[in-house]
């Protein structure tokens, strides 16, 4: 099979599997029922993200055999991805205590870092720093936070899928830059395959959604994107900055919301709808404008800055500050972390 044919095959498999999962969820009454903390108003099947997991992971060994991905990276993705997806699947079908989920998340992050070799050297102000064991600890926290923030940000139709596709296509653009031949150029296949796996699901999840991703899919996407970012940084240290810039919409909204809720003394493990994107969806009365705006920010604002950092034209820390400043302003404008009040989002 020509390598490029794998992309539509993965997208098609994800599309078909999502349809099957939707039928399964309807038959088993696996539904998200609207409540006071929901951003939707119609009971909707959940668990469609399993299609993303299955279609992507099934393609990984083939990529390794074809020499399009290293076995170390494949083992990192397989072990961490399946572990996180299984935990999410169990939670989607019942309930797994938060402490056990978090323990599983740290175990998955540790597994991934074992195969990746830990945190790669970080480029700061033109200097490459090896943080040693402290860096490996930071990398574990980084992966666990990305995993959970992706779950937090999967709250309106199409948002998590659009974010993943934009980030993956942005990563592919980074790898296509002159001078990026080598490691990242090979790993571009993983970014493209993940985008295709998400696209098949997104056909069912785009507003108005006919099925939700569920924890199995959102957690899987979070840790997978984190692993890909660390792998890219092993080949070119500045790429870690570029990846974190590409993920900026989710990182800023989730982090700012969490900090505000912590400072207010809220129980941060409880479900809520105080993220900026949730306030925005209520203000506009629909999910679609918010989802499309996030796509526009990703491609029109964050991607050019990420490309500038990857090419060496912009220092990573400076690029991050420039990229995140308007995102923080938007988070404040849309009351990220502030409790919902009657009429405040109208």
Using alpha carbons only, what angle is made at residue 260 by residues 284 and 328, rounded to the nearest 5 degrees? Answer: 60
Give 65's contacts (C-beta < 8 A, 6+ positions apart).
none
**For residue 266, how far is the Cα from the chain centroid?**
25
**Is the Cα dihedral 174, 178, 180, 185 positive or negative?**
positive
Asked whether residue 151 is marked as a ligand-binding residue, the answer is yes
Separation in Å, CA 196 to CA 9, 168, 264, 289, 346: 9, 9, 40, 23, 36
CA distance 223 to 261: 24
Asked whether residue 148 is marked as a ligand-binding residue, the answer is no
Q: Using alpha carbons, select from 109, 114, 127 the residue that is nearest to residue 238.
A: 127
CA distance 336 to 53: 30
Q: What's 209's DSSP letter?
A: P
Q: Using alpha carbons, select from 104, 84, 87, 103 the residue that is nearest to residue 95.
A: 87
Bridge-based pairing state of the strands 127-129 and 122-124: antiparallel
CA distance 124 to 131: 12
Positions at the binding site: 151, 215
Binding residues for Mg(2+): 151, 215
């Amino acid at each position: 099979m020509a390598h490029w044919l794998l992309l539509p095959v993965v997208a098609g498999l994800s599309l078909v599997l999502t349809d099957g999962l939707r039928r399964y969820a309807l038959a088993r009454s696996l539904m998200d029922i609207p409540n006071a903390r929901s951003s939707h108003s119609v009971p909707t099947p959940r668990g469609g993200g399993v299609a993303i997991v299955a279609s992507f992971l099934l393609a990984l060994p083939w990529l390794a055999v074809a020499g399009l991905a290293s076995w170390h990276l494949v083992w990192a993705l397989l072990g961490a991805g399946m572990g996180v997806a299984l935990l999410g699947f169990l939670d989607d079908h019942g309930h797994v205590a938060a402490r056990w989920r978090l323990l599983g998340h740290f175990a998955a992050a540790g597994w991934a870092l074992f195969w990746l070799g830990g945190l790669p050297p970080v480029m700061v102000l033109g200097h490459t720093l090896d943080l040693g064991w402290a860096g490996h600890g930071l990398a574990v926290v980084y992966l666990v936070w990305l995993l959970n923030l992706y779950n937090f940000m999967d709250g309106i139709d199409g948002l998590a899928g659009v974010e993943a596709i934009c980030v993956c296509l942005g990563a592919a653009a980074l790898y296509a830059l002159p001078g990026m031949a080598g490691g990242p150029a090979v790993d571009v296949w993983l970014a493209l395959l993940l985008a295709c796996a998400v696209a098949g699901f997104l056909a069912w999840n785009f507003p108005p959604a006919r099925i939700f991703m569920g924890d199995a899919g959102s957690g899987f996407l979070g840790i997978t994107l984190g692993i890909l970012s660390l792998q890219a940084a092993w080949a070119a240290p500045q790429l870690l900055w570029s990846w974190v810039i590409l993920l900026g919409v989710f990182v800023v909204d989730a982090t700012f919301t969490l900090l505000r809720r912590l400072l207010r003394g809220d129980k941060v493990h409880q479900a809520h709808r105080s993220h900026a994107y949730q306030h925005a969806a209520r203000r506009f009365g629909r999910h679609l404008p918010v989802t499309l705006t996030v796509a526009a920010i990703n491609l029109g604002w964050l991607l050019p800055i990420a490309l500038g950092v990857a090419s060496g034209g912009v220092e990573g820390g400076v690029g991050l500050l420039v990229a995140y400043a308007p995102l923080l302003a938007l988070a404040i404008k849309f009351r990220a972390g502030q409790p919902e009040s009657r009429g405040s989002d109208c």
